Amino acid sequence: MKGMAEPLHRALGLTDDEAGDIERILGREPNHLELAMFSVMWSEHCSYKSSRRHLKRLPTEGDAVLVGPGEGAGVLDVGDGIAAAIRIESHNHPSAIEPYQGAATGAGGILRDIFSVGARPIALMDPLRVGPLDEPRNRWLLDGIVSGVSGYGNSVGVPTIGGELVFDETYAENPLVNVLCLGLLPTDRLVLARASGEGNLAVLLGSSTGRDGIGGASMASEGFGDGEEHAKRPAVQVGDPFEEKRLIEACLMLLDAGLAVGVQDLGAAGITGATSETAGKGGVGMDVDVSAVPRRAPGMDPWEVMISESQERMLAIVTPADLDQVLAVCARWEVEGTVIGRVTGTGRLRVVDGFGGEVLADMPASALSDDAPDYDRPLRAPAPRPAADPPAIADAGETLLGSLLDTSWVSSQYDSQLFLNTVEGPGGDAAVLRLKHPTTGVDTGRGLAVTTDGNHRWCAVAPRRGTAMVVAESVLNLACVGARPLALVNCLNFGNPEHPEVMWQLSESIDGMADACRAFGIPVVGGNVSLYNESRGKDIDPTPVVGLLGVVDRLDRRPPGVGLVDQGRLLLLGERSSHVGGARVWKDAPELPPFDPAAVTAVADVVRGLVADGLLAGAHDIADGGLAGSFGELVARSGLGLEVGLTDTGELFSEAAGRVVVCVAPEHVEEVVRRAGEVPIVDIGGVGGDRLVVAGMVDLSVPAVVSAFRDTLPAAMSAGATH
Amino acid sequence: MTARVGVILFPGSNCEQDAVEAIRALGGDAEVLWHGDATVGDVDAVVVPGGFAHGDYLRPGAIARFSPVMGAVADFAGSGGPVVGICNGFQVLTEAGLLPGALQKNRGLKFLCTTVDLRVETSRSVLTSGAEVGAVLRVPINHFEGNYTCSSETLAQLRGDDRIVLRYVENPNGSIDDIAGICNEGRNVVGLMPHPERACDVLLGSEDGKPLLRSLLTAAANAKV
Amino acid sequence: MWEPEAVKKFNVLVEVTLQPGILDPQGTTIERSLPHLGFDGISGVTVGKAIRFTCEAADEGAARGEVEELCKRFLTNPVIEDATITLERA
């Protein structure tokens, strides 16, 4: 083939088989515009063609579920006429190229998903994973990513109430930027992105269309190679939070006034995705007048307009009778509104040059999504790791200090308090928000809690159990703030699905999540799959990240938080374990500790009740860093010393699931032990003094612990950055 | 009669509902005023809330000061009406020339969201009449451009006239003379970077903002008479 | 494009800088980080804004007057910023 021009479909990222399918669907050879439209919709990013069949194994039903996976956002009934919309997405590849804009547009995109179902976004969370900070480029990436979330989220007026920050070599060239958004709407105003009613109009709202991110959806589906991929890299998408803010207000005003039949965000496949999805799901057709689309770059071809990823755009379906009022709302918020489409009864998506003008593309509206390829890619389990003994820990105190990380350097750059809801902000086990009615503002006296969790080390050892342990960690994080779980969303960050080991990881991880969610009774209401996270052929460790939404049934006090009271007793709830498989201290272990979801549920139930009744002075689940990490953080946050006794160093560093350490005032100890019932509970020590002492293993001064916790990140980031 | 507070909404403002909620919780009446209307109606006090009016593009407050409502705010302030600018609202009031000085990027060149200690420096202002001089209040800050700066003559004047209303106990952003809030010569226009409306509920961590907003409601009630 | 002879078009560059004596935290931060990054011998870093546009006016003097007024009223905050204006015929 050398020397011959590459066929167009391949240049667009379509395989020969996919091009054949398109020809069969159309009954003729597709033209350039049609191929471009199929190429974005059939990309991995939009079609989930490698993961779809596996995702079907996740449980999605639940009493509170109003909308499950497959829409802009999952929607839950949270009572009092209020529905919560939640979604999580990745923006990994764009952030690796331009961290500020990559992260900013990631936040912008997820916000549009939330208000596309009629919800006002009330909170963002940003689980971040980057390479070690001793490399200047990783500092540049982290600084840019955090500035991007800060610059966009603060300005658009949505508080960022938490997230995660993880450093590991596996992310050195491929940072993971996941963003979760939570929104609220009156239950009776729920709208889905559906076009209906022949003759109704599709109004494009917001920013003009440029060449931004052309091919972005296919970029997100390609690994970063050297050199030859360069030509495929799109113009970087630039976010405009002020446009987005006006777009939010205009869209919500349209929905409040009943002026829109449906609204749809323009995501990775731009106008093509928005028009084909609203028409396809509504069972209708649409004529799209590509010449009407306001453009910002000269000389754009129709195919560029149809697949551009320009940010801050929405599509509203409106009746002709309401158009004037719709445009008046747009004018009030200084949002451009342009009729670009008409709903037809034909079931076909046609791109036309002026209504009634030349037909530039013509295809069944549903073919772009419903007929997308569905690959059963080969899976292969890696060879089992050889049996081994855990490594000896030379200095438990140093190891403890090395696991501490205060993320305030990140969270202080985010407005975490806007809307007067934030009872527990960044840094705790889970964020807690007051639950107020989104339009009347009436306080329900209840709360919502959200946590995001992931652990690539566990998942690299055993993706199935590792993922189940991640879900368990989320359940316990919610319990520590007094919340019961309601629904889960996931962001599955994996390597190249064409590698059978990666497909095996993905499949196993989904099974682990399904097992855990069934055991905990949690429906999965949405997700995002990010594949091809790799650089120069090396896949990242499997990193499923979950976002868990919960409800605090009575929010009349602040949760105990990660803290201590002087003279308090420290009690360990849950089955004791010294198994360090997959822990920070034993990454390449052959296996993870045993996992029993029923035991986790029992611990969570006890802790939730204790928090609700104000019997705890502090609570912290035991996960990354084990008990050592928990002790360190409790001491650093309270400034108080503690002295405990444990079985062995294994117990100090084990990350086995289903354990929570609580601080209890002496007068409540008896009651707490009684309430634990069948759940194992043991007094491991007490609070006091000015040292962190684990008998026979650790003896550190409180200031040393505080300093290791507080200073690590600012010190690392002060060293300057280059790219 | 209940004092009525008008809270101005520019495109890009985002703390307007928070201000309304906090004022109502303290027994005041509050309504949102649209930036495009050249009037403040019949309100007894005006709050210019936090946020990013017009995206903070060009400079925070630089575009907002030209909104039609700002002429009415200037007239209202000129006739002695109480006006408080919180965070972005402070920036808008300095750009509009209703308060002296300017707000630059924080010394640390980062957006900063945290809770700080504020010392009440004078009770002679519409925002601090009910607060005790020397009292230390725990109030959140949330800004990128909160680093107050002014000429040495202006600073001397602010000091000499007892117009520095609030100071940071520990300066978080590089503000000259630790200034967190100032007032105009008439003492009826106050600008401050911290957010008193975010400190009105123990569930959210502090209620030290209450004496400030109560002072504003008192000034509004007095303006009504 | 046809344009009346009386109106001339000028390309305008407005550079907005902080007034001397006003703290320039961005400039000092950049300068402070240079040695860490291996750039020696660079000093006097200041950070400002560049604003470009075209302006129609009868002559250069009129254009300059208009742009000066624009800078004073809108593009700069005269409390802390100065503007340098560069004009050339489009």
Residue of C nearest to B64 (CA): C74
At A234, is the pLDDT very low, low, confident or very high (cuts 50, 70, 90)?
A: low
Q: What is the pTM of this model?
A: 0.94
Q: Which residues pair with C88 in a beta bridge?
A: C11
| Chain A environment of B22 (Cβ under 8 Å) | 420
DSSP secondary structure letters along A136-186:
HHHHHHHHHHHHHHHHHHHHHT--EEEEEEEE-GGGTTS-EEEEEEEEEEE
Residue of A nearest to C34 (CA): A720
Q: For residues A263 and A316, is the Cβ–Cβ distance under 8 A?
A: yes
Q: Which residues pair with A404 in a beta bridge?
A: none
pLDDT value, residue A232: 43
pLDDT of A541 over the 80 cut: yes
Tokens of C2: 């046809």
pLDDT value, residue C79: 85
List pLDDT tens digits, range A159-201: 999 999 999 999 998 999 999 999 999 999 888 778 888 999 9
| Nearest CA-CA distance, residue B73 and chain A, Å | 21
- Whether residues A420 and B195 touch (CB distance < 8 A) is answered with no
Which member of A9, A54, A91, A456 is catalytic? A91
3-state secondary structure of A490: strand
Count of CB pairs separated by less than 8 Å, B with C: 36
Q: What mean pLDDT comes out for the span A368-393?
A: 94
| Chain C environment of A136 (Cβ under 8 Å) | 37
Instruction: Tell me the CATH architecture of domain C8-89.
Output: 2-Layer Sandwich (3.30)
List pLDDT tens digits, range B106-151: 999 999 999 999 999 999 999 999 999 999 999 999 999 999 999 9
Q: What mean pLDDT comes out for the span A523-531?
A: 96
Which residue among A415, A555, A558 places its CB closest to the CB of B113? A415
| Chain C environment of A137 (Cβ under 8 Å) | none
- The residue of A155, A334, A409, A555 whose CB has the most chain B CBs within 10 angstroms, and thus the best one to mutate to test that interface, is A155
Report which of B139, B117, B115, B120 is spatially closest to residue B210, judged by C-alpha positions: B139
- Lowest pLDDT segment from A662-671, A695-704, C1-10: C1-10
Tokens of A629: 């990490």
At A222, is the pLDDT very low, low, confident or very high (cuts 50, 70, 90)?
A: low
Q: What mean pLDDT comes out for the span A29-43?
A: 95
Residue of A nearest to C31 (CA): A720
Active site residues of B: 87, 195, 197
pLDDT value, residue C5: 61
Residue A583: what are its φ and ψ, rounded to 5°? -75, 165
Residue of A nearest to C32 (CA): A720
At A72, is the pLDDT very low, low, confident or very high (cuts 50, 70, 90)?
A: confident
- Which chains lie within 8 Å of chain C at 3 or more CB pairs, if any? A, B
pLDDT of A236 over the 90 cut: no
pLDDT value, residue A3: 43
Tokens of A426: 């960044």
The answer to whether B58 faces chain C, any CB pair under 8 Å, is yes
Mean pLDDT of chain A: 94
Q: What mean pLDDT comes out for the span B20-25?
A: 97
Which residue among B95, B107, B174 places its CB closest to the CB of C77? B95
Q: What mean pLDDT comes out for the span A639-658?
A: 97
- Which chains lie within 8 Å of chain A at 3 or more CB pairs, if any? B, C
The answer to whether C22 faces chain B, any CB pair under 8 Å, is yes
Residue of C nearest to A719 (CA): C36
- Whether residues B104 and C29 touch (CB distance < 8 A) is answered with no
At C6, is the pLDDT very low, low, confident or very high (cuts 50, 70, 90)?
A: confident
pLDDT value, residue C4: 55
Among chain A, residues having any CB pair with chain C shorter than 8 Å are 136, 719-720, 722
Which residue among B57, B195, B203 places its CB closest to the CB of A242? B57
pLDDT of C2 over the 80 cut: no
Q: Which residue has the higher pLDDT, A338 or A212?
A: A338
Q: What mean pLDDT comes out for the span A461-471?
A: 98
| Nearest CA-CA distance, residue C79 and chain B, Å | 6
Tokens 């806007």 sit at which residue? A418
pLDDT of A1 over the 60 cut: no
The answer to whether C44 faces chain B, any CB pair under 8 Å, is no
At A2, is the pLDDT very low, low, confident or very high (cuts 50, 70, 90)?
A: very low
At A235, is the pLDDT very low, low, confident or very high (cuts 50, 70, 90)?
A: low
Burial class (CB in 10 A: 0-12, 13-18, 19+), A492: buried
Count of CB pairs separated by less than 8 Å, A with B: 85
Q: Which residues contact C13 (CB under 8 A, 6 or more apart)?
A: C50, C51, C52, C85, C86
Q: What mean pLDDT comes out for the span B97-111?
A: 95
A91 as an active site residue: the answer is yes
- Whether residues C79 and B151 touch (CB distance < 8 A) is answered with yes
| Chain A environment of B141 (Cβ under 8 Å) | none
Domains with residue ranges and CATH for chain B = 4-224 (3.40.50.880)
- Whether residues B95 and C80 touch (CB distance < 8 A) is answered with no
List chain C domain ranges. Answer: 8-89
Tokens of B1: 């009669």
Which residue among B102, B109, B150 places its CB closest to the CB of C29? B109
Residue of A nearest to C37 (CA): A720
pLDDT of A229 over the 80 cut: no
The answer to whether B123 faces chain C, any CB pair under 8 Å, is no
Q: For residues A290 and A186, is the Cβ–Cβ distance under 8 A?
A: no
- The residue of C52, C53, C79 whose CB has the most chain B CBs within 10 angstroms, and thus the best one to mutate to test that interface, is C79
Tokens of B59: 């400079």
Residue of B nearest to C80 (CA): B102
Residue of B nearest to A718 (CA): B108
List pLDDT tens digits, range B49-64: 999 999 999 899 999 9
pLDDT of A212 over the 90 cut: no
Q: Amino acid identity, residue A77?
A: D
The answer to whether C73 faces chain A, any CB pair under 8 Å, is no
- Whether residues A245 and B198 touch (CB distance < 8 A) is answered with no
The answer to whether C37 faces chain A, any CB pair under 8 Å, is yes
pLDDT value, residue C3: 53
- Whether residues B142 and A415 touch (CB distance < 8 A) is answered with yes
List chain A domain ranges. Answer: 560-718
Q: What mean pLDDT comes out for the span A70-95?
A: 95
% chain A with pLDDT above 90: 88
| Chain C environment of A719 (Cβ under 8 Å) | 36
> How far are the Cα atoms of A180, A196, A263 from residue A152, in angstroms, in the given order?
14, 34, 22
Residue B103: what are its φ and ψ, rounded to 5°? -115, 120
Q: For residues B187 and B193, is the Cβ–Cβ distance under 8 A?
A: no
pLDDT value, residue A127: 98
Q: Which residues contact B160 (CB under 8 A, 6 or more apart)?
A: none
Q: Which residues contact A365 (CB under 8 A, 6 or more apart)?
A: A275, A276, A279, A280, A284, A285, A286, A347, A348, A349
| Chain B environment of A151 (Cβ under 8 Å) | 111
Tokens of A41: 């919709």
Which residue among B107, B108, B149 places its CB closest to the CB of C80? B149
The answer to whether B130 faces chain C, any CB pair under 8 Å, is no
Helix-helix angle A500-520:A597-612, to 10 degrees: 50
A560-718 folds as Phosphoribosyl-aminoimidazole Synthetase; Chain A, domain 2 (3.90.650)
- Taking the C-alpha atoms of residue A390 and residue A652, their distance in angstroms, rounded to an integer, is 13
List pLDDT tens digits, range A113-168: 999 999 999 999 999 999 999 999 999 999 999 999 999 999 999 999 999 999 99
| Nearest CA-CA distance, residue B87 and chain A, Å | 13
Among chain A, residues having any CB pair with chain B shorter than 8 Å are 150-151, 154-157, 240-242, 245-246, 249, 332-334, 411-420, 422-423, 434, 441, 555, 557-558
List pLDDT tens digits, range A399-412: 999 999 999 999 99
pLDDT value, residue A537: 75
| Chain B environment of A414 (Cβ under 8 Å) | 111, 113
- Taking the C-alpha atoms of residue A507 and residue A438, their distance in angstroms, rounded to an integer, is 38
Q: What mean pLDDT comes out for the span B142-170?
A: 97
pLDDT value, residue A315: 97
